[in-house]
Amino acid sequence: MNPYANRGWAPNRWYHPQSDPRLHVPLYYWPVPQDRLRPQSKYPNLNPILAVDTTLIQYDVRKTPLHGILFSTAAQLGSTLALSSPSAAIRIISHSFPWTLDIPAPVTCAAVFDGLHKMLQEPLADSEWGTVCILDKSRRETIEKAAKARAERDKEKKLKRIDWLGDKTVFKGLEKDDEFEKKRLLPEMAPCAETWVVKFGKP
């Protein structure tokens, strides 16, 4: 059985973790006022698991969610929706990488983590590497250093998108940045109401 399979929206699956979810994530919770649990997020439509100002999950995107997050937690995230209101999709962009990740509905928290991991495991395209070599010497050095460390660890020398992040590979949450969203939108691309910026930090 796929632990990420969506089981549909249910109010009692919108959880507010009372302890570090790497150790324990309650499948059900009593719907007590949020201020009894933690400071309220700036983003009430976004699950606290994902919001930059409330998340407690320290997920290293170099690993699959099932290996980077406690198994029981990862399994439960497969039925935990990312948004409190219905949405056709969620779009993720970042100051840390140049790609756009679109996740179709129903968008679960697990789909967000899984989508980020899979996208960053893709090989770095020749055109992407060429752009870096010409325009961004600092980014080239970051990629080469990360790729060397990964090759020593995983015995895989091919450059990957994950190398773009350097040593900042830990998920720190999603946030809104309307100005950045406007700049990142391609002229021919339709805007997505649920566009979020993902932040990363060091392990």
Per-residue model confidence as pLDDT tens digits over 137-161:
999 999 999 999 999 988 888 999 9
State how far the Cα of 150 lies from the Cα of 87, in Å rounded to an integer: 37
CA–CA distances in Å: residue 4 to residues 8, 71, 178? 12, 11, 30
Q: What is the mean pLDDT of residues 162-178?
A: 97
Same domain, 173 and 140: no
Same domain, 150 and 128: yes
The number of distinct structural domains making up the chain is 2
- pLDDT for 38 equals 54
How deeply is 134 buried, as exposed, middle or buried, from its count of CB atoms within 10 A (0-12, 13-18, 19+)?
exposed
Same domain, 130 and 187: no
Domain containing 150: what range? 124-159
Same domain, 47 and 97: yes
24 is a domain residue: yes
